[in-house]
Copies of this chain bind each other. A is one copy, B any other.
Amino acid sequence: LRTLKLTLAYDGTRFVGWQRQAEGLSIQGLIEDALAPLAGGRVTVHGAGRTDAGVHAMGQVASVQIACAHDLETLGRALNAQLPPDVRVLGVDEAAPDFHARFSARSKHYRYQIDRAPIADPFRRAWAWHVPDALDVDAMAEAAHLLVGTHDFAVFQSAGTSVSETVRTITRSGITAGDVLVYDVVGTGFLRHMVRAIVGTLVEVGRGRRRPASMGWLLEEGTRADAGRTAPPQGLFLVRVDYD
């Protein structure tokens, strides 16, 4: 068996998310189905990040163990020939036998886009959250910066889900202003809906409904209901996953 590392880009608009589900099209399902004829049977593909319905990826990484003799370039071309145009294999690499896209990941980079135009740009409606209100971008940047470090991020975890360990390390958390406001966050791992809950909270800071300094209090003492609402999925991109 060979272990392969696939790098993928996809427009998440019409999918139920990364993970294969009983109903609807998933990225994982499409990749597994495209690999099956090359592998001579069903295979299981592991993704670095289980992106939700409507969330996009510029650089998702997936791993798979597969018995096939094709060279890497042929594999990439064969996969892209079978996949729909909104899912593309950007690269296929040989990986160490114990490589696992999720468990081996050292850090992930997510990006969230906010369209600030007074009238929503029709060309950005599938890639951004439209927030036409006046936003205090400096306050948002200050609040975003307070997330850098090792913290318990349980306050930004989706209600109804729970993992036992909610401490994560964020190494970058910054706002870039422009006609599209961009939030970039890099960290060792992310809880379910964490980036979207952070963005929903940052937008409330931008609207003047909470102070930047309240981020510290949220992390230390807040519960999910104290943080902002989960921002919609179409603004979110998994940009890149890093490995040792």
Contacts and interface: CB of A to CB of B under 8 A. Distances in A.
Interface in A1-46: 9-11
Interface size class of A (residues with CB under 8 A): 10 to 19
A80 B119 contact: yes
B9 A87 contact: no
Nearest to A89: B119
Nearest to A124: B11
A122 B87 contact: yes
Contact of A122 (B85, B119, B125): B85
Contacts of A78: none
A88 interface: yes
Nearest to A58: B123
A120 B85 contact: yes
Interface string A105-140: 000000000000001111101010000000000000
A173 B149 CA distance: 51
Nearest to A10: B122
Number of identical monomers bound together in the oligomeric complex: 2
A100 interface: no
Nearest to A77: B119
Contact of A88 (B58, B88, B120): B120
Interface string A37-75: 000000000000000000010100000000000000000
A11 B127 CA distance: 14
A56 B123 CA distance: 9
A90 B118 CA distance: 9
A122 B11 contact: yes
Given A85-B120, A87-B122, 18 more contacts: A9-B121, A9-B122, A9-B123, A11-B122, A11-B123, A11-B125, A56-B123, A58-B123, A80-B119, A85-B122, A85-B125, A86-B122, A86-B125, A88-B119, A88-B120, A88-B121, A88-B122, A89-B119
Interface of A: 9-11, 56, 58, 80, 85-90, 119-123, 125, 127
Q: Closest 7 CB pairs between A and B?
A: A11-B122, A86-B122, A85-B125, A88-B122, A88-B119, A9-B122, A10-B122
8 contacts: A10-B122, A80-B119, A85-B120, A86-B125, A87-B122, A88-B119, A88-B120, A88-B122
